[in-house]
Amino acid sequence: MLASPFRPSRRHVMRNGCPAARSWRLHLDAKASMSLPPLTPGQLVKPGRFEFRIALIFTAIFFPLGVHLPYFPLWLEAKGFDAAQIGIILAAPMFLRIFTTPVLTALADRANDRANVLVALVAAALVMSLGYFLPPTYMTVLAVSLGLHVAWSALSPLADSLALSGVRRFGSSYPAMRIWGSIAFLCASLVGGAMLAITSPNAVPVIITCGLACTLAASLAAPRLGRPRRASPLSATELQEAAPRLLNRYFLLIVAGIGVINASHGFLFGFVSIYWKSIGINDAAIGFLWAFAVVAEVGVFLMFTRVFGQLSATGVLCVSGAAAVLRWLAFPLIAPLGLGLVGFFAIQSLHALSTGLFLIGLQKVIAETVADERTGAAQGIAFFANGFSMAVVTLLSGPLYESLGVDGFYVMAVIALVGLGLIVLASRSSPERALRREDQRAAVG
């Protein structure tokens, strides 16, 4: 989760910025603080070089991810797996982590210190990654992927939990720590592509395992903060307690729309590297294409307020959905039109809108419409919707790529259009629209 790069709308300020509203919000915050367990004297002491240590952990976690996402499908193809098998190997862990990640984060909250759980999970992921060096039969690779992602998928939420404790207790800046994860992912995409260009896809498991070994070393330096006073992001405890209060039409339509738009990227994540390789693009160039998408995404975060700051949350999400539809319609046309790498770089720049804006739009919705004490549950519901939708589309992407090749992106355009339609429906029941109706009734009365 990134810090919200937007300002509240004028109507939002008028409704919530008055003295009475501020007084009521302070009352709620004080009441929530009174219900939290007190900090121990040791928890009040800021660990030395806290921000540096958390940034190091984010860097170490995201570097192997920056190799796995673009290049693991290439390794699977090199080992002789067909598109349907690749789709299953990629999708099965996505289904599993929807259920295991909230459970693991809830268990970490109950441990004496989350840092110890982080170390244990990194060690487990490292051991499981060694399974890729066994004879690569289909069942072996599937089993290793399932076991690896149970531990691996919980690392980022746990790092978020430690970072957010620092934000609350010591006033640390979350974006200043988290951005190093994005930088590490970008660098890993470039380094991985260069290494594969020199060697072969067989280097992918080696890089992932070495990356996890570095993650283990970094996790040993994790600050010891004790138990959190609030449930960690994506915790099953938080979901169980607060989720029922979020089940309203507006929020559910928003989350469903975001999940579907996000899922339309499943075909890209699973098979675009394989497609690029099939039309003669080398590994180094593939690395640059992936890295460019990350740069574009970071760019939209930096200029969001200036360019999109006046849009409502649903407006931001509509732009995201429309960009996804355009991106998938254009993708199959790049090679036939002879646009080459320039065309693919142009299409990758749309990642800033199709992915970056839906991430910001979700946080904008949560910040403007969800009470502070329920934000963890809201994040958890969004995690489930995104994860389940992405897993389903990734599973279907294997047979789709096998039968249609790059034309499978046209199906992704239809999926993104469905997501856009859900966002439009949500906009008709948005809080801002309800406020306008309320104002009109008041004016008539």
What DSSP assignment string belongs to 382-419? HHHHHHHHHHHHHHHHHHHHHHHGGGHHHHHHHHHHHH
Side chain identity, residue 194: A
> Across the chain, what does the average pLDDT equal?
82
Alpha carbons 218 and 311: distance in angstroms, whole number: 40
pLDDT at 439 over 80: no
Alpha carbons 408 and 85: distance in angstroms, whole number: 17
The per-residue pLDDT for 196 is 93
- Residue 127 has, within 13 A of its CA and on its CB side, a CA count of 9
For residue 234, what pLDDT band results from cuts at 50, 70 and 90?
A: low
The per-residue pLDDT for 160 is 81
φ, ψ (nearest 5 deg) of residue 152: -65, -40
User: Burial letters for 353-375: b for 16+ Cβ neighbours within 10 Å, e otherwise?
Assistant: bbbbbbbbbbbbbbbbbbeebbb
Tokens of 175: 């974006």
* CA distances to 143, 243, 379, 397, 398 from 147, in Å: 6, 28, 24, 22, 21
Helices (H), 220-265: 236-242, 249-263
Alpha carbons 254 and 365: distance in angstroms, whole number: 8
| Average of per-residue pLDDT across 339-352 | 94
Of how many residues is the chain composed? 445
- Residue 87 has, within 13 A of its CA and on its CB side, a CA count of 19
Query: pLDDT tens digits, residue range 265-317?
Result: 999 999 999 999 999 999 999 999 999 998 988 888 778 878 887 888 889 99
* CA distances to 288, 346, 361 from 293, in Å: 9, 10, 18
pLDDT at 248 over 90: no
Alpha carbons 205 and 134: distance in angstroms, whole number: 11
Query: pLDDT tens digits, residue range 107-148?
Result: 877 778 888 999 999 999 999 999 999 999 999 999 999 999
Assign 60 to helix, strand or coil: helix
CATH architecture of 49-234: Up-down Bundle (1.20)
Alpha carbons 223 and 234: distance in angstroms, whole number: 21
pLDDT at 380 over 50: yes
Alpha carbons 321 and 353: distance in angstroms, whole number: 8
| Average of per-residue pLDDT across 395-399 | 95
pLDDT at 32 over 50: no
Torsion of CA 119, 122, 128, 133, to 10 degrees: -120
Whether 49-234 and 237-438 share one fold: the answer is yes
Domain boundaries, the chain: 49-234, 237-438
φ, ψ (nearest 5 deg) of residue 189: -60, -40
Selection from 335, 228, 221 nearest residue 276 by Cα = 335
Largest CA distance in the chain: 76
Cβ of 175: how many Cβ atoms within 10 Å? 15
* 237-438 CATH pick, 3.40.605.10, 3.30.365.10, 3.40.50.1970, 1.20.1250.20: 1.20.1250.20
Alpha carbons 370 and 433: distance in angstroms, whole number: 16
234: left (phi over 0), alpha (psi -120 to 50) or beta: left
Tokens of 394: 């990734």
Alpha carbons 368 and 293: distance in angstroms, whole number: 28
Selection from 90, 70, 61 nearest residue 390 by Cα = 90
| Cut 0.85: pTM above it | no
**Contact indicator for 118, 241 with CB cutoff of 8 Å:** no
Assign 80 to helix, strand or coil: coil
pLDDT at 28 over 50: no
Selection from 108, 100, 103, 115 nearest residue 56 by Cα = 115
The per-residue pLDDT for 440 is 52
| Average of per-residue pLDDT across 325-342 | 96
pLDDT at 73 over 60: yes
- Greater confidence, 98 or 326? 326
Q: Rg of the chain over CA atoms, in angstroms? A: 22
pLDDT at 15 over 60: no
Tokens of 313: 């949350």
Assign 163 to helix, strand or coil: helix
In eight-state DSSP terms, residue 354 is I
pLDDT at 33 over 80: no
The per-residue pLDDT for 442 is 52
Residues with Cβ within 8 Å of residue 173, at least 6 apart in sequence: 3, 51, 167
